[in-house]
């Protein structure tokens, strides 16, 4: 019967309940510290990481970049020969940022 345990991984080393488990098949990059689960079946162990925090960090960074783009476009638009001509573009980018924020807030 398989066991499912909470586990962590750092630098390719999987730990569960305070013990390093070796060998383990790591279903992630296995480079940075992560948490996840260890699936143990007889003498084989597979580590599955939870990517939720990585995805949330990525979306947060994307939100910040989009905010910077909107700010830059708003500033450029204000000093052009036809102020307001980029309003539709700025609006579309702002809507995209709102959609990304909603996606981040709805992560499971």
Residue 44 zone, left/alpha/beta (φ > 0; ψ -120 to 50; rest): beta
| pTM attached to this predicted model | 0.57
CB-CB contact of 16 with 6 (8 Å) = yes
Q: Which two tokens stand for residue 17?
A: 């309940």
Please work out, in degrees rounded to the nearest 5, the angle formed at the alpha carbon of residue 107 by the alpha carbons of 101 and 108: 165
Residue 6 has a pLDDT of 93
Query: Residue 53: what pLDDT?
Result: 77
- In this structure, what token pair is assigned to residue 68? 């910077």
Give CA separation, 55 vs 11, 35, 37, 40, 94, in Å: 20, 14, 18, 26, 21
Q: Read off φ and ψ for residue 59, nearest 5 degrees.
A: -65, -40
According to DSSP, the β-strands at 19-21 and 25-26 are unpaired
Domain ranges of the chain: 3-50, 53-105
Q: What is the pLDDT along the chain (108 residues), one digit of tens a residue?
A: 889 999 999 888 899 999 998 888 888 766 678 889 999 998 899 999 887 777 888 888 999 999 999 988 888 888 877 777 888 888 888 998 898 888 888 766
């Amino acid at each position: 019967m398989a066991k499912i345990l909470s586990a962590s991984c750092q630098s390719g080393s999987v730990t569960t309940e305070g013990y390093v488990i070796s060998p383990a098949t790591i279903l992630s990059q296995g480079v940075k510290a992560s948490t996840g689960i260890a699936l143990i079946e007889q003498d084989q162990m597979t580590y599955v990481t939870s990517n939720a925090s990585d995805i949330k960090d990525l979306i947060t960074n994307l939100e910040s970049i989009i905010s910077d783009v909107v700010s830059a476009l708003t500033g450029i638009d204000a000093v052009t020969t036809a102020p307001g001509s980029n309003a539709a573009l700025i609006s579309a980018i702002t809507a995209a940022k709102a959609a990304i924020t909603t996606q981040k807030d709805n992560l499971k």
